[in-house]
A and B are shown apart, each in its own frame.
Chain A
Amino acid sequence: MVTWTMNDNEKLKSTIKKNLDVRASDETHDHMRSIVLDAHGRARETASANPLTLTRSILMKNPITKLAIATAVAVAVLIGIGVFTSSGSGVVWAEVAQRVQASRGVIFRLTEEIEPDPYSQRVDFSINHYSSTQARLDRYIGDEVANTMYNNCDTKTVILVDHVHKSYVQDTNAKGMPDSLGIADPNNMIERFLATEHRELGQRTIDGVLCEGIETTDTALYGTKNPPDSLTAQIWVSVETGYPVRCESEHVRDNGQKRLKWVTDQFQWDVDLDEQLFEPDVPADYIDISPDEW
């Protein structure tokens, strides 16, 4: 019989860590891998391309994107949304889309909440800088920048600098700009809103700015491939400047089991962003932990 001591809990934990060790046999490993990758391939094949999936201001500036905006506006007109007329306040939504398209650069904050939260080490918010060809995302935990992601569309390079662990990874063969914000991208959001059925919310003062808002509960806002169960999303645009001031979305998935809310705010539109902002700043003592191949 063994007598357990003060250190027994540590020994027990060590035992669990070491002995609860299960691996897939080579055959099983390869078999499961094949099933997983096949599922991924089928999902991609069957997914219908979303005609409104645009992610970056660089995309917003090209002719194809302009056509997409025109299409979105046309859809809105067909379903009776007054995108070419103001609702009494001066905000003309078609002009908002155009104004956003013409913005040289934008800075904004993104905050997300997920319930139940499946994550550890969640960042509190990110401050994002987008130019026409580059993006920088600073993710904060408290007042500290936990990590920074640099995306350069010209060089097809993505670098993620982890300040917590003093390391970085780089991908020098990234194709195009990342879809790292997805639906929360303000450029993307305006356009998607215009293509959904929505209602006017009237005026409200947000952060001291008189705004006019619209709201949608149309799950098509998130595309047809994997829409949420339900959602409520709003955009608020400054009456004075015609630029978005706040976007927010809350939706549920998995029969109500999962709730995701995000807010983009603190916008600075049409700013000239210093190129230096997008120069990856990797301190000399940070370790490159990029994998040999992606």
Chain B
Amino acid sequence: MRIIEDELLKWRFKRGSREALARIYEKYVNALLSLAMGLLNDPHEAQDVVQDVFVSFAQGAESFTLTGNLRAYLARSVVNRVRDRRRRQRSQQRRVDVLATTAGGSTVIDRTLVYNERCERLSAALEQLPYEQREVVVLKVKHDMTLREIARIQGVSISTVHGRYRYGLDKLRALLNGDMDHE
């Protein structure tokens, strides 16, 4: 359903439709924010990344190709931006410490992004995974990408991605043991 609607959105966007761009933004901004948060564990960085992705997307209508999956395209754009930031941050060793946690399950609002404490803990646990594993887990589980697609993005074999996925889940499970939705 989503894919076919996207086909027309892409078509209209490429022809310069502001409305199509607005709709693409409305449709995917929160999914991309969640993805970026899972990769960065930093709401402000996540917001910056997603904003940069959409601004770049908005400026590049003419060069935008019309085949393929829009959601995957945007997700990949987020991944690329996150990698760029990580490269820069490795030299700066910057870490923005932001939100104070509140009682379990309650909503955190810092006037920029909205998420609950469980999300915050999950994001913090994800951050403890090696980055490549984190990327695989988030893209696979949260963004429904196939291992083949992720292998393309990471430039490694599918078996390598599968290993990263398995190790990532194992470690995450250990980190979250008894702390999540285990009923």
Q: Is A266 an interface residue (CB 8 A)?
A: no
Cβ B173 vs Cβ A12 within 8 A: yes
Known interface pairs A12-B176, A24-B114, A122-B68. Does A40 touch B18 (Cβ–Cβ under 8 Å)?
yes
B103-147 interface mask toward A, CB cutoff 8 Å, 1 = contact, 0 = none?
000000101111110110011001000000000011001100110
A139 to B66, CA, bound (A): 12
What residues of chain A lie closer than 8 Å to B73, measured between beta carbons? 118-119
A38 to B137, CA, bound (A): 34
Cβ A260 vs Cβ B65 within 8 A: yes
What residues of chain B lie closer than 8 Å to A171, measured between beta carbons? 8, 12
Cβ B54 vs Cβ A20 within 8 A: no
Known interface pairs A47-B62, A165-B1. Does A112 touch B7 (Cβ–Cβ under 8 Å)?
no
What residues of chain B lie closer than 8 Å to A179, measured between beta carbons? 14-15
Q: Is A51 an interface residue (CB 8 A)?
A: no
What residues of chain B lie closer than 8 Å to A39, measured between beta carbons? 55, 58-59
- Residue in contact with B76 in the complex, picked from A18, A118, A123, A160, CB distance below 8 Å: A118
A41 to B21, CA, bound (A): 11
Q: Is B90 an interface residue (CB 8 A)?
A: no
Q: Is A149 an interface residue (CB 8 A)?
A: yes
Cβ A162 vs Cβ B3 within 8 A: yes
B138-172 interface mask toward A, CB cutoff 8 Å, 1 = contact, 0 = none?
10011001100100110100000000000001001
What residues of chain A lie closer than 8 Å to B180, measured between beta carbons? 12, 15, 19
A168 to B7, CA, bound (A): 11
A260 to B67, CA, bound (A): 12
A253 to B56, CA, bound (A): 14
A17 to B138, CA, bound (A): 9
Q: Is A169 an interface residue (CB 8 A)?
A: yes
- Residue in contact with A9 in the complex, picked from B37, B51, B169, CB distance below 8 Å: B169
A1 to B174, CA, bound (A): 11
A182 to B66, CA, bound (A): 9
Q: Is A25 an interface residue (CB 8 A)?
A: yes
CB distance from A25 to the nearest CB of B (A): 5
What residues of chain B lie closer than 8 Å to A123, measured between beta carbons? 67
Known interface pairs A22-B37, A36-B55, A160-B7. Does A121 touch B14 (Cβ–Cβ under 8 Å)?
no
Cβ B111 vs Cβ A25 within 8 A: yes
Nearest A residue to B38 via CB reads A20
A116 to B79, CA, bound (A): 13
Known interface pairs A162-B3, A294-B17. Does A33 touch B112 (Cβ–Cβ under 8 Å)?
no
Cβ A167 vs Cβ B1 within 8 A: yes
Chain A contact surface mostly = mixed
Nearest A residue to B181 via CB reads A15
Nearest A residue to B154 via CB reads A116
CB contacts under 8 Å to B, within A36-84, are 36-37, 39-44, 47
What residues of chain A lie closer than 8 Å to B22, measured between beta carbons? 33, 37
CB distance from A204 to the nearest CB of B (A): 28
A41 to B66, CA, bound (A): 20
- Residue in contact with A149 in the complex, picked from B7, B21, B38, B111, CB distance below 8 Å: B7
Q: Is A8 an interface residue (CB 8 A)?
A: yes
Cβ B122 vs Cβ A19 within 8 A: yes
Q: Is B82 an interface residue (CB 8 A)?
A: no
For A20, A28, A147, A178, which residue has the most chain B Cβ atoms within 10 angstroms? A20
- Residue in contact with B34 in the complex, picked from A4, A20, A158, A160, CB distance below 8 Å: A20
A19 to B18, CA, bound (A): 32
A268-294 interface mask toward B, CB cutoff 8 Å, 1 = contact, 0 = none?
000000000000000000000111011
A174 to B14, CA, bound (A): 13
A222 to B64, CA, bound (A): 12
A123 to B5, CA, bound (A): 16
CB contacts under 8 Å to A, within B60-107, are 60-63, 65-69, 72-73, 76-77
B1-36 interface mask toward A, CB cutoff 8 Å, 1 = contact, 0 = none?
101110110011011111111110110011001101
CB contacts under 8 Å to B, within A206-245, are 222-223, 225-226
A157-176 interface mask toward B, CB cutoff 8 Å, 1 = contact, 0 = none?
01010100101110100100
Q: Is A120 an interface residue (CB 8 A)?
A: yes
A280 to B36, CA, bound (A): 40
Query: Can you give 5 contacting A-B residue pairs, CB < 8 Å?
Result: A13-B141, A20-B123, A36-B54, A158-B8, A289-B5
